[in-house]
Amino acid sequence: MKLVLAIILFFTFGLINDQVPNPRLFKLTTFKNVPDDMTGCGDDCYLSAKDEKRDVLICRTDYAGALIHVNNKAVLLKADQTVKHDKDEEIYTSGKYILSLKMIYKKQDGDEDYAFKGILTIKWGEKILCQQKVTGEGGC
């Protein structure tokens, strides 16, 4: 009897955890602190020029991974080349989310640095949870 109850509970909680989050409860939030292992080469994404001046990020990438904050909690994603994407697009995934950073404008600023404008999209499977225009800078 206990085994049957345990199996029922396992499947019930498993199904609840796999459900798509309510978009009204999903909020991509800004942040300032970046872990030391993510500093250096990469892209800094901001919601506005004002945020860029104040160094308030919406996303940080270091080419191997990306950092976002969902409901003020840090979420790390890994670069994923297995997901089909455009040449001006970077894809990062976690167990839950798929992040796409698509560059729509890029201006070289020196040998390795550049400024850009892009579209940041967060998905859960095929469902878009958030899509935001961003501005930023990148390079080494």
Give the pLDDT confidence of 14-63 residue by residue, as tens digits.
Answer: 444 455 555 568 899 999 999 988 888 999 999 999 999 999 999 999 98
Q: CB count, 10 Å around CB of 60?
A: 21
pTM equals: 0.78
Give the chain's mean pLDDT.
Answer: 85
pLDDT of residue 109: 87
The Cα–Cα gap between 14 and 12 comes to: 5
The pLDDT, as a whole number, for residue 86 is: 80
DSSP label at residue 36: G
Q: Could you tell me which residue, 27 or 87, shows the higher pLDDT?
A: 27
Q: Are strands 89-93 and 28-29 parallel, antiparallel or unpaired?
A: unpaired
Helices (H), the chain: 2-17, 49-54
By CB atoms closer than 10 A (0-12, 13-18, 19+), residue 5 is exposed
Q: What pLDDT, on a 0 to 100 scale, did the predictor assign at position 140?
A: 86
What percent of the chain has a predicted confidence (pLDDT) above 70? 83
Q: Which residue has the tokens 């345990």?
A: 6
